[in-house]
Amino acid sequence: MLYSELADIFDRLESTGSRLEMTTILADFIRGVDRSELRKIIYLAQGKLHPDFIAKELGMADRLVLKAISFTSGTSESVAEELWVKTGDPGEVAEKLISKKKQMTLFAEELTVDRVYKGLTAIQDAEGKDSQDKKMKLLANMLHDSGPVEARYLCRIVTGRMRVGAGDMTILDALAEAFATKEDRPAIERAFNITCDIGFVAETIANGGMGAIENIHVTIGNPIKVMLAERLPSVSEVVAKMGGKCAIEYKYDGIRVQAHIGKDSVKLYSRRLEDLTSNFPDIAEALRERCKFGEAIIEGECVAVDPETGFMLPFQAVTHRRKKHGMDEAVKEVSVRIFMFDILYRDGQDMTYVPYLERRSELESTFEIGDKVQMTTMRLVNSPEEGEDFFASAIAARCEGIMAKSVAPESIYRAGSRGFLWIKYKKDYQQALTDSFDLSVVGAFYGMGKRAGKYGALLMAAFNEDTGRFETVCKLGTGFDDAFLDSMPELLNAGLSESKPKMVDAEMVPDVWFDPTVVLEVVAAEITLSPIHTAAKGVLKEDAGLGIRFPRFTGRVRDDKSPEQCTTVGEIIEMYEMQAHDSDGLSE
């Protein structure tokens, strides 16, 4: 296929605001795509070359892209740079300058999708002394044969700014529309949730239909989307919701890890699919040594402990293991244990369909428990009193709360979903009206006074799971220390956007916009109806959304969460209702 055809589709997707229309454009297009090219096309539509868990990056610095544009278009770097600063969008710079060049070029070999995919792969893989120059030439070579729209998307892809709005959920909708029916949509989503590879799911359904989709199973090396918990405001409600009977585990405050234990090697993934193996080499080794089976996929929480006493240390201690450099020292200095809580696969058997209690006992018998490899502490509970009692021991053991887990026959592992099969309850719920929020930064306001010349406050948004959009909940200006204020440009500026990003719904207008990439943890006094914030707009009251009052940054940048994994609008509605319910209780 010619790359220009694909670029035209990107252009059409970008210019519609409606998810339904986007789905139809995509569905009509992918129906006609050559099956052997579909996988690549799906990745490119998301600005990627492969699924997220493959830790390879295109790695092209803005400056190099600028150089390639100026080289190809024959424009001076300073003119290109000026345009870049003005628009903030390398795609637009390329489009404007390449279109000028196009009138002067007589011969150009047309770009195919295959050539673009190969070219981008070569850029990604270029290594060594001359790698920068090589990357620049590879891009220039493709730009040379590009028309303006093709150039726009090439430059957006290589700079990580490809956001035409074709998110995972839209692509899954389009796959159902193109190759199956609406009723098949949950099965297609499950295939994605257990493989985390949308290109693979697309290729499978295009080639083998729903039969092939239903044949996709959990496999080692393919991370599985993690199961998440709902929350409730009191232990007694948790136990009641579980039908008066459930398992309760300590809720450890560490880093969640999904371990893929192979015969010879182990890979550890974070909940956002980053490879954490080099951060926890000791845990990887201990898991392999203590696993009695050939292969297993398990989940657990990595927690820092005091090596002398075995006491658990606060979350901050384990974050030393997330640094990019000086890992050898961090491994020596910070002693870590994994507290395992689930098993998803073992020696060819997909265990996600096995009920909780059985999974738990299989997990325990899969390992020789001890030393760095432990089970989460669990108790079967039959009354609210027993639940309260166990919660008190969790807090005494320095945990942040409890995780109740259903023991009903339907208590399977629901990859990628948040539901009441797991319910969390944290100590924080007793002190504040709300849990903490993990919010995405979508904008910034310049500071005044002491903060002049810096970002003084940030516009924060929650993720709406139904629409795939980010909706604002507060302007955040407290909890920033000097070091954080100074580090903000470095943290945020890679996501600078010339105008309001397409996936953001906001009425408040900040001085600068960001594509949602950075997630910060925020605590607040309460959730209120807000005329200015767009979260859940019109859901609880016409013309009002939900906002959070007196927000404060906790100091924790949640780089373990992607923007789509931040607090959802649905959760904020629940917290709002929980809070209303609390104050009802007080007034009784």
β-pairing verdict for 418-426 and 545-549: unpaired
Q: Is 269 in the site for ligand AMP (CB under 6 A)?
A: no
**Nearest residue to 451 (alpha-carbon basis) of 475, 481, 410:** 481
Given the residues 40, 67, 101, 251, select the one marked as catalytic.
251
- The least CB distance from residue 258 to ligand AMP, in Å, is 10
Residue 196 · residue 273 · CB < 8 Å? yes
Nearest C-alpha neighbor of 2 from the set 146, 198, 160, 203:
146
Q: How far is the CB of 271 from ligand AMP (least distance, A)?
A: 6
Of 43, 252, 391, 437, the one binding ligand AMP (CB under 6 A) is 252
Which residue from 24, 32, 26 is spatially nearest to 8, judged by alpha carbons? 26
Chain-centre distance of CA 411, in angstroms? 25
User: Please, which residue, 150 or 249, has the CB nearer to ligand AMP?
Assistant: 249
Binding mask 80-119 for ligand AMP (x = CB under 6 A): ----------------------------------------
Those residues with Cβ within 8 angstroms of residue 163's Cβ, 6 or more apart along the chain or in another chain: 47, 156, 501, 502, 503, 515
**Closest by Cα among 332, 329, 356, 331 to 343:** 356
Residue 179, classed as helix, strand or coil, is: helix
The residue number whose beta carbon is nearest to ligand AMP equals 256
Select 381 or 444, whichever has its Cβ closest to ligand AMP: 381
> Residue 420 CB, nearest distance to ligand AMP (Å)?
14
Q: Token digits for 436? A: 């903490």
Name which of 2 and 229 has its Cβ closer to ligand AMP. Answer: 229
For ligand AMP, which stretch binds (CB under 6 A), given 64-72, 249-257, 447-455, 507-515? 249-257
Q: Out of 301, 505, 515, 521, which residue is the one contacting ligand AMP (CB under 6 A)?
A: 301
Nearest 5 degrees, angle CA 312-CA 317-CA 323?
145
Among 40, 144, 346, 424, interactor with ligand AMP by CB under 6 A: 424
Helices 3-15, 19-31: axis angle to 10 degrees equals 160
Q: Which of 266, 403, 546, 578 binds ligand AMP (CB under 6 A)?
A: 403
Q: Which residues, 219 to 248, sit near ligand AMP by CB under 6 A?
A: 229
Q: What is the DSSP letter of 321?
A: G
Does the annotation count 134 as an active-site position?
Answer: no
C-alpha to C-alpha distance for 464 and 267, rounded to whole angstroms? 31
CB of 560 to ligand AMP, least distance (A): 9
Q: Does 345 bind ligand AMP (CB under 6 A)?
A: no
From candidates 12, 185, 256, 398, binder to ligand AMP by CB under 6 A: 256
Q: Is 376 in the site for ligand AMP (CB under 6 A)?
A: yes
Which residues bind to ligand AMP, rule: CB under 6 A? 229, 249-252, 256, 271, 301, 341, 376, 403, 424
